[in-house]
Amino acid sequence: MPNIKSVKKDVIKSRKNHLRNISAKSAMKTFIKKAKTAVDAPTVATAETAEAVRLACKAIDKTAERGIIHRNQASRRKSRLMKKAHQATLAVTA
């Protein structure tokens, strides 16, 4: 533990931010997992799948906006999720 008062405060702040970032990442991953599950499930309605994907994209955007993940990583995650959803839609219609 540091001796300087301002550095002690910085350490405390850093730990709080770290916990908040972990929580935000976990929430984002949960939304992504729910969306992937909805996409893979054949019995789930298309509207429910679209809503799950929309919520996942929203969570990804928020996480990137706060600087918790890089914007390129957010774009990549959204792209992969949308690609998977699109392929599932094509499989259902075909």
Alpha-carbon distances of 3 from 15, 76, 83, rounded to whole Å: 17, 42, 52
Contact between 44 and 35 (Cβ < 8 Å):
no
pTM of the model: 0.87
User: Domains plus CATH for the chain?
Assistant: 5-93 (1.20.58.110)
pLDDT tens sequence across 71-90: 999 999 999 999 999 998 88
Amino acid (1-letter code) at residue 47: A
Q: Which residues contact 91 (CB under 8 A, 6 or more apart)?
A: none
**Residue 53 confidence class, pLDDT cut points 50, 70, 90:** very high
